[in-house]
């Protein structure tokens, strides 16, 4: 398919002011995050988006690979927010909210967020988000938010098939990637602007918690070899997960320090 045609197709679904107005589409890339970071160093404008059909070196969290065959959505957004570096991780939660809304809108599936930023349906992961930032002394120079959504993938490797699925497998029909990409960007721009007003998640708390699969449920908290069970209450305005132990004692979990799992599996 012609590259310029594909770029225009994605753009036709956008109603953003600045996000994706500069959009690079490639049939294949190593990783959209790698390319967006290069553009970040080259002073590309805030809101630049890199999209590809497949990745040869897709990156997941914690140094994992993100297997990236054709048929899914892989893209990265380059942002230059004027915020403190420690606030950057909250943008990942903003992105998860946007992905959920877009999937609901385009695929009409009932999706949820597994804290902090996995999007799940029927207990299986549909989307992963990797945010990387660059700082210059005390300031953020840019953030790259990379999003991979399993859209039309029909098969998963045996080691992940119990916890991963795609929109087309759940829906029983293929979903147009360009429409989903456009919708994610539309939702993201709106939520991102709301986030910037307060530089925290206070305005988005209610909507995020309404989609949080763990809300009000017991979860397993895994920290190294230690596992304990607590009830998840919801996120606070900084994106931490508030949990309550059997004695009613509340504690806030910070992303990256503790893994959260459902009692019966990956999500629930």
Q: Which residues form the interface with ligand BTN (CB under 6 A)?
A: 31-33, 55, 58-61, 64, 66, 74, 76, 128-130, 146-148
> Which residue number, 78 or 253, has a Cβ lying nearer to ligand BTN?
78
202 near 256, Cβ under 8 Å? no
> Which residue number, 129 or 169, has a Cβ lying nearer to ligand BTN?
129
231 near 248, Cβ under 8 Å? no
Q: Can you tell me the distance from the alpha carbon of 258 to that of 19, in angstroms, rounded to the nearest whole number?
A: 32
Return all residues near 215 (Cβ < 8 A) that are at least 6 apart. Answer: 209, 232, 233, 234
Q: How is residue 258 written in tokens?
A: 């503790």
Q: Please, what is the minimum distance in Å from the beta carbon of residue 67 to ligand BTN?
A: 10
> Which residue number, 128 or 262, has a Cβ lying nearer to ligand BTN?
128
Length of the chain: 268
Residue 57 CA, distance from chain mean position: 18
Residue, CB closest to ligand BTN: 128
Q: Please, what is the minimum distance in Å from the beta carbon of residue 143 to ligand BTN?
A: 13
Q: Please, what is the minimum distance in Å from the beta carbon of residue 77 to ligand BTN?
A: 10
> Which residue number, 59 or 87, has a Cβ lying nearer to ligand BTN?
59
**H or E stretch covering 186:** helix 177-198
Q: Can you tell me the distance from the alpha carbon of 75 to that of 206, in angstroms, rounded to the nearest whole number?
A: 27
Q: Please, what is the minimum distance in Å from the beta carbon of residue 73 to ligand BTN?
A: 8
Q: Please, what is the minimum distance in Å from the beta carbon of residue 211 to ligand BTN?
A: 17
> Which residue number, 9 or 52, has a Cβ lying nearer to ligand BTN?
52
Q: Can you tell me the distance from the alpha carbon of 225 to that of 208, in angstroms, rounded to the nearest whole number?
A: 30
> Which residue number, 112 or 230, has a Cβ lying nearer to ligand BTN?
112
- Return phi, psi of residue 192, to 5°: -65, -40
Q: Please, what is the minimum distance in Å from the beta carbon of residue 198 to ligand BTN?
A: 26
């Amino acid at each position: 398919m012609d590259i310029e045609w594909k770029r225009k197709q994605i753009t036709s679904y956008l109603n953003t002011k600045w996000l994706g107005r500069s959009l690079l589409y490639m049939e294949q890339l190593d990783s959209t995050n790698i390319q967006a970071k290069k553009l970040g160093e080259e002073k590309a404008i805030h809101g630049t988006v890199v999209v590809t059909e497949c990745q040869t070196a897709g990156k997941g969290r914690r140094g994992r690979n993100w297997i990236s065959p054709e048929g899914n959505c892989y893209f990265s957004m380059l942002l230059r927010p004027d915020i403190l570096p420690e606030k950057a991780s909250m943008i990942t939660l903003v992105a998860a909210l946007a992905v959920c809304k877009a999937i609901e809108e385009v695929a009409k599936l009932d999706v949820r967020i597994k804290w902090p930023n996995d999007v799940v349906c029927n207990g299986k992961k549909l989307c992963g988000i990797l945010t990387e930032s660059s700082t210059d002394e005390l300031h953020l120079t840019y953030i790259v938010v990379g999003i991979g959504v399993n859209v039309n993938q029909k098969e998963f490797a045996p080691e992940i098939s119990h916890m991963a699925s795609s929109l087309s497998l759940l829906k029983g029909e293929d979903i147009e990637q360009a429409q989903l990409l456009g919708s994610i960007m539309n939702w993201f721009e709106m939520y991102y602007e709301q986030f910037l007003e307060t530089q925290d998640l206070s305005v988005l708390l209610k909507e995020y918690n309404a989609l949080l699969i763990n809300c009000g449920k017991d979860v397993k908290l895994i920290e190294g070899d230690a596992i304990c069970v607590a009830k998840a209450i919801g996120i606070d305005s900084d994106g931490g997960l508030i949990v309550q132990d059997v004695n009613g004692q509340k504690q806030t979990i910070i992303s990256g320090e503790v893994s959260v799992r459902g009692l019966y599996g990956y999500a629930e």
